[in-house]
Amino acid sequence: MDYRIFNSDEIDHQQCYRLLIGSIVPRPIAWVSSLDEDGVPNLAPFSFFSICSHYPPLVSITVGEKEKAHKDTSANIAATKGYVIHTVTEGWQEAMNASSAALPRDVNEFETIGIDTVPSDLVDAPRIKDCPVAMECDFQQTIEFGDDWKTYLVIGKVLRWHVREDLMLDDKYVNPHLLKPIGRLGGPRYCHTDDIFEMQAPYVQPDVAHPNTGEKN
């Protein structure tokens, strides 16, 4: 079988980006609500989104530059600290995509797109009304990468989850069958999560209950 070889120090930033977003798939989408210092809300999606730590609950988004300056989201989070990450699910993909438009800094995406909001409990940034899962976050730190093409890893602590009641499974888990999250692929492509299967990881400690199933070997 033949393979194409790409060395990262021999290709430009655009090809690096294409290979990354085509190889690391599917990616969850963080739909981020933030406020600037004048109280103008912003809403934007980011698929460079991950868990840093489960306890404390730390999550990260990676935000690129816009015209050699911070994008609204990373600038707002650094300035006002509190923000909300929403899970993008079936029915929200069109609004999510619309919020990715490069609008002037003083434009309210919620009003432009027609998305209703509700106040958050612990942060000033608003939540999307009726979004199935939202996480109120407190800014922790930003790590900067790159020289000519800067990106910013923004890390926040989840202060509070808002999970729609019917999505809870055994009062512990978010039911993925009911959540129906949308994933990001390479280019303008996305995916549904309809085909879900389960596998239990091997657990070989004798006479010790599996942490998920409670069964012993």
* Tens digit of each residue's pLDDT (9 = 90 or more) over 157-194: 999 999 999 999 999 999 999 999 999 999 999 999 98
**Which residues does 142 contact at the CB level (< 8 Å), separation at least 6?**
74, 77, 78, 152, 153, 154, 155
Task: Look at residue 61 and tell me whether its pLDDT is greater than 90.
Answer: yes
What is the SS3 assignment for 197? coil
Confidence (pLDDT) at 125: 98
Alpha helices in 24-92 (DSSP H): 72-80
Query: How big is the chain, counted in residues?
Result: 217
Q: Which residues pair with 167 in a beta bridge?
A: none
Per-position DSSP letters for 89-157, written without gaps between them: BTT-HHHHHHTTS---TT--HHHHHT--EE--SSSSSPEETT-SEEEEEEEEEEEEE-SSS-EEEEEEE
Domain 8-191 CATH superfamily: Electron Transport, Fmn-binding Protein; Chain A (2.30.110.10)
Cβ–Cβ < 8 Å for 35, 42:
yes
Average pLDDT over residues 117-125: 98
For 124, phi then psi, to 5°, come to -80, -30
What pLDDT, on the 0 to 100 scale, is given for residue 212? 64
pLDDT digits (tens, 9 = 90+) for 62-89: 999 877 778 899 999 999 999 999 999 9
